[in-house]
Amino acid sequence: MTTRREVLGGLGAALAVAWGCNRRSAASDDPALPLGPMETRLAIYNWSDYIAPDTVRGFERETGVRVTYDTYESNEEMFAKLQAGASGYDLAVPSSYMLPAMRASNLLAPLHGQYIQGRGAIAPLFRHPPFDPAEQFTVPWQWGITGIAWRRDLVRTAPSDWGIFFDQRWRGRMTMMDDGREVLGAMLKHRGRPLNDAEAASLATAKADAIRAKANLRAYKSAPVKADLIAGDVWIAQLWNGDAAQAALDQPAISFVLPGDGSAIWTDSFVLLRDAPHPRAAHAFLEYILRPDVAAKVADATGYGSPNAPALARQRHPVPYPSPEERSRLEYFEDLGAATELWDRAWTEIKSA
Amino acid sequence: MRRAPRSIVALTTLGFITMHVPVLVLAVFSFNRSRYGASWEGFTLDWYRRLAERPDILAALKVSLVVGGLSTAIATTIGTLFAVGMTRGPRRGAAWLESLVLLPIVTPEIVMGIGLLALFATLGIALGITTIVIAHVAFSIPFVIVVVRARLAGMDRTLEEAAMTLGATGRSAFLKVTLPLLWPGIIAAALLAFTMSIDDFVITFFVAGPGSSTLPLVIYAMARRAVEPSINAVSTLLVAASTLLILGFDRLSPRRGS
Amino acid sequence: MSVLRGRWLLAPGVFWLVAFFAIPVAVLAGTSLMPRGIYGGVTAGFTLEHYSRFLDPLYLGILARTLLLSAICTAICLLAGYPVALGIARSGRWKNLLLFLVILPLWTSFLVRTYAMIFLLRDHGLINETLMALGITSAPLHLLYTRGAVLAGLVYGLLPLMILPLYTSLEKLDPTLLEAAEVLGARPLSRFWRVILPLSLPGTIAGCLLVFIPSLGAFLTPDLLGGAKDMMIGSLIQNQFGPARDWPFGSAASVVVMVVVLVAMLGWLRRRPEVL
């Protein structure tokens, strides 16, 4: 009997080991373990218009890896698709506030540090960020701030703060982003409240403010409002700095301003997905994008800020890091956790008003 | 039938203009040299040429064709069999079958789309070309059934019965007499199913996975970013394709009211 | 033997429609009864909280506004579509061509047609440029991103769906009935009101349903043409499956929509649907 139990136990152990080994050499949970050999393919899922035209091609040429590159328009879109499971992607680029949700949904795999040597190029401001202090899961990609893009030729004086959206003079010529976090966040900052406020009373005030502003708005539009700014249909728009920079290339009269009452700063980072089928190639890509020359071209193409310090010197239009004074006015978005429903309801009420 | 009064003719003409002008304008301006604005600045095929350089559009075209082909083949087969079975089958349960066929036609697309998304998520099926095909077949089958049934209803049963009297087996009579007569209706249904597949947006929006964007999904992504003639160009091509397919469908489908 | 054959022929269709239509709707209903997981999915359990949440005036208001917009859209389509259907029915040799011209927009991508509306209505779109060129206006009218634009987009998109069943009904009208009415002294308006209209009722009802139901679930049109300023129930549902990450609540809202659809359909399903 003992013998049988031992045999069974041995079999069981053998099966467990075999099963463990046969699991796709997808990123193992232990980041200290080495990965397998370099794969021949890689699948990347990134925001649209968020890379330089030759970045992927350059990587393919150097490594011989064939890359599938797909895009999304919002964090939620990416999250929803990944949550559905087995997407086949290796890398994605969530914003910082999505990370707790992604981790809780078991979507991320820890990075194997031994394959990523280039982190030294990242500016101290973006090292050990609050959303990933041990730098276990993320490699910063671009950073940006939310502010106000405006037409110098049509609006003589620069908007000074978020209160511009209450100004009746520009009624019908302004837009805010189609994003509850951004709209309510701006209204909260206008009242001196934190960006991620979960308090019902201040949310109610922010909501009332947003409804007041809505009467002056042409539409709720996010990045696509670029075209309207260029065409002159919209004169003042809540927008991200990179998109404003891209629009300014087509219409030099477009300027960007960080509102005096503060705003959001956000970092988008590359993450390794739990079921990544090509982890080794993924790490090679992460190492590749940490190179200053690559990072410089990316930032020039997107118009956003590069967290890669040496890259700034090589850029044609570098976005300078926020000064300490500006940094004091900026806050990161955080996951709202239990307050999500409160915020969502507020946004629904604003939209229904 | 009596001639219609002038007021009716006028209103009818107005109605048709309203229904067609927007797309015609869209098509015309796909050839406009100007990028912004509605002023005509000259004829150009540039916007169409640029489409060929866009990997996202080319990939989407491939996905649309693959999905269209697969879903059409499957839906037409299943739907035709169903239509035949329903026309000849037992009367029992006919009301339920009618409802099962009609409900997808009248259900709002968003409900069907998210229902499928919820189903796939629950079962852990990865979103991709497979899920799109499944969805497209699901909404196409009822339309195939309607078209083929209409054709069957207009057909003369006695021909098949005559063949059987002359010695053919039931199956042989079906294959050699009924099916060839049914064929135009089946092709019409297939053309309709293909059109619906390449044009669908809402349901595809919810069940498409990363890397499996169809042409309408790409158009939507483009339209949300900017209004530019490339969108006009790819939309015009899609409309042209649909027009040709529906022309075929119209020629082959059972004549309504005759 | 033919009975057996009948059943086998039906099987694949029944399977597919049950598996990929009926069951998804059932999954939705089931999801709507489960508590929300913190990051958007569901956790095990049973709860009616999503439905009671829906009974809030905010969400009922969204439903009511959507019903109102759909009703207006249906009314406009009926008023605009009736003469067109009548015109086609009386067009003699042009009938097939005209029918084709009605079917065509129907099977053209709804997305493309919505985008065509954007192109027309924008500040520098054709309508504004024409009005300014003719000197009627001096500055562009803000046509896009208004409730009117959403209504226009819905009517434009759904009008063919009203015309077709109406036409089918009108086409079957026996001309001798009208002649009899004329002989008996009825004037054109009276003939219309008392003969044509009642006899075309099946088609009218079918057309109204075919317009009302899709407009109820619309989210693309309010999003692209309305500037995302108005929340219709379709946008609410889509939002729950997207940014709001509240699948159970979105499912509950969908179930509500389905119930409304079924109630609307009840009257129609009773009468045999000859117009398809």
| Residue predicted with more confidence, B12 or A5 | B12
Tell me the two tokens of residue C45. 């359990």
* Contact between A220 and C229 using a beta-carbon 8 Å cutoff: yes
User: Which of B37, B126, B225 minimises the CB distance to A224?
Assistant: B225
B38 band by pLDDT with thresholds 50, 70 and 90? low
| Residue predicted with more confidence, C60 or B34 | C60
* Contact between A70 and B228 using a beta-carbon 8 Å cutoff: no
**Chain C positions in Cβ-Cβ contact with residue A218 (cut-off 8 Å):** 142, 145, 227
A8 band by pLDDT with thresholds 50, 70 and 90? very low
B165 band by pLDDT with thresholds 50, 70 and 90? confident
Q: What does the pLDDT average to over B19-34?
A: 87
Provide, rounded to the nearest whole percent, the portion of chain A with pLDDT above 70: 91
Residues 6+ apart with CB under 8 A from B126: A84, A85, A86, A87, A88, B120, B209
Q: What does the pLDDT average to over C79-85?
A: 91
In terms of Cα–Cα distance, which of B13, A236, A231, B18 is closest to C127?
A: B18
| Residue predicted with more confidence, B42 or A157 | A157
Residue A104 one-letter amino acid: A
Round to whole Å and give the CA distance between B33 and C70: 39
Query: Which tens digit of pLDDT belongs to each residue from B196-252?
Result: 999 999 999 888 876 788 999 988 888 776 667 888 888 899 889 888 888 888 888
The listed range with the strongest mean pLDDT (B146-155, C43-52, C67-76, C116-125) is C67-76
* Contact between A76 and C142 using a beta-carbon 8 Å cutoff: no
Provide, rounded to the nearest whole percent, the portion of chain C with pLDDT above 90: 25
B257 band by pLDDT with thresholds 50, 70 and 90? very low
In terms of Cα–Cα distance, which of A131, A119, A148 is closest to A244?
A: A148
Neighbours of B20 (CB within 10 A): 16
**pLDDT value of residue A256:** 94
**pLDDT value of residue C11:** 87
Residue A132 one-letter amino acid: D
A177 band by pLDDT with thresholds 50, 70 and 90? very high
DSSP helix/strand/coil, A92: strand
* Contact between B247 and C100 using a beta-carbon 8 Å cutoff: yes
Round to whole Å and give the CA distance between C34 and C36: 6
Q: Looking at the DSSP assignment, which residues form a beta bridge with residue A217?
A: A174
Query: Which tens digit of pLDDT belongs to each residue from A240-263?
Result: 998 898 889 889 999 999 999 999
pLDDT at B142 over 90: yes
**Chain C positions in Cβ-Cβ contact with residue A221 (cut-off 8 Å):** 227-228
Query: Which tens digit of pLDDT belongs to each residue from A116-139?
Result: 988 999 999 889 888 888 999 999
**pLDDT value of residue B210:** 67
* Contact between A219 and C145 using a beta-carbon 8 Å cutoff: yes
**pLDDT value of residue A45:** 92
* Contact between A84 and B211 using a beta-carbon 8 Å cutoff: no
Query: Which tens digit of pLDDT belongs to each residue from C208-246?
Result: 988 999 999 888 898 888 888 888 999 899 888 877 778
**Chain A positions in Cβ-Cβ contact with residue B227 (cut-off 8 Å):** 227
**pLDDT value of residue A28:** 52
The listed range with the strongest mean pLDDT (B39-48, B87-96, C127-136, C144-153) is C144-153
Q: Does B127 touch chain A (CB under 8 A)?
A: yes
**pLDDT value of residue A185:** 95
A148, A259 Cβ separation under 8 angstroms: yes
Round to whole Å and give the CA distance between C11 and C27: 22
The listed range with the strongest mean pLDDT (B58-72, B112-126, B149-163, C219-233) is B58-72
- Residues of A228-266 as b/e, b for ≥16 C-beta within 10 angstroms? bbbbbbbbbbbbbbbbbbbbbeeeeebbbbbbebbbbbb
* Contact between C109 and B250 using a beta-carbon 8 Å cutoff: no
Q: Which helix (H) or strand (E) holds A264?
A: strand A263-273
Q: If you measure CA to CA, which chain B residue comes closest to C241?
A: B114
pLDDT mean across residues, chain A: 86
Kind of pairing between the strands at A217-220 and A66-72: unpaired
Round to whole Å and give the CA distance between A274 and A29: 9
Query: Which tens digit of pLDDT belongs to each residue from B88-101?
Result: 766 667 777 888 88
Query: Which tens digit of pLDDT belongs to each residue from C173-211?
Result: 877 887 888 888 878 777 778 788 888 888 888 899 889
Chains contacting chain A through 3 or more C-beta pairs under 8 A: B, C
Q: Does A106 touch chain C (CB under 8 A)?
A: no
C118, B247 Cβ separation under 8 angstroms: no
**Chain A positions in Cβ-Cβ contact with residue C62 (cut-off 8 Å):** 348, 352
Tell me the two tokens of residue A178. 């189609």
- Candidates C82, C96, C106, C111, partner chain B, best to mutate (most B CBs within 10 A): C111
**Chain B positions in Cβ-Cβ contact with residue C226 (cut-off 8 Å):** none
User: Which of A220, A338, A348 minimises the CB distance to C236?
Assistant: A348
Round to whole Å and give the CA distance between C104 and A169: 45
What is the SS3 string spanning chain B? CCCCCHHHHHHHHHHHHHHHHHHHHHHHHCCECCCCCCCCCCECCHHHHHHHCCHHHHHHHHHHHHHHHHHHHHHHHHHHHHHHHHHHCCCCCHHHHHHHHHHHHHCCHHHHHHHHHHHHHHHCCCCCHHHHHHHHHHHHHHHHHHHHHHHHHCCCHHHHHHHHHCCCCHHHHHHHHHHHHHHHHHHHHHHHHHHHHHHCCHHHHHHCCCCCCCHHHHHHHHHHHCCCHHHHHHHHHHHHHHHHHHHHHHHHCCCCCC
**pLDDT value of residue C94:** 83
pLDDT at A72 over 90: no
Round to whole Å and give the CA distance between A340 and A346: 10
Q: What does the pLDDT average to over A294-316?
A: 91
C28, C254 Cβ separation under 8 angstroms: yes
ipTM: 0.83
B85 band by pLDDT with thresholds 50, 70 and 90? confident
Round to whole Å and give the CA distance between C176 and C27: 53
Min Cα distance B42 → chain C (Å) is: 16
Round to whole Å and give the CA distance between A238 and A148: 5
**pLDDT value of residue A235:** 95
* Contact between C58 and A348 using a beta-carbon 8 Å cutoff: yes
CA B106 from chain center: how many Å? 15
**Chain A positions in Cβ-Cβ contact with residue B36 (cut-off 8 Å):** 230-231
Q: What is the DSSP letter of A105?
A: T
Q: Does B210 touch chain A (CB under 8 A)?
A: yes
In terms of Cα–Cα distance, which of A147, C19, C220, A241 is closest to B141?
A: C19
B228, A227 Cβ separation under 8 angstroms: yes
**pLDDT value of residue B37:** 60
The listed range with the strongest mean pLDDT (A147-161, B116-130, B201-215) is A147-161
* Contact between C119 and B243 using a beta-carbon 8 Å cutoff: no
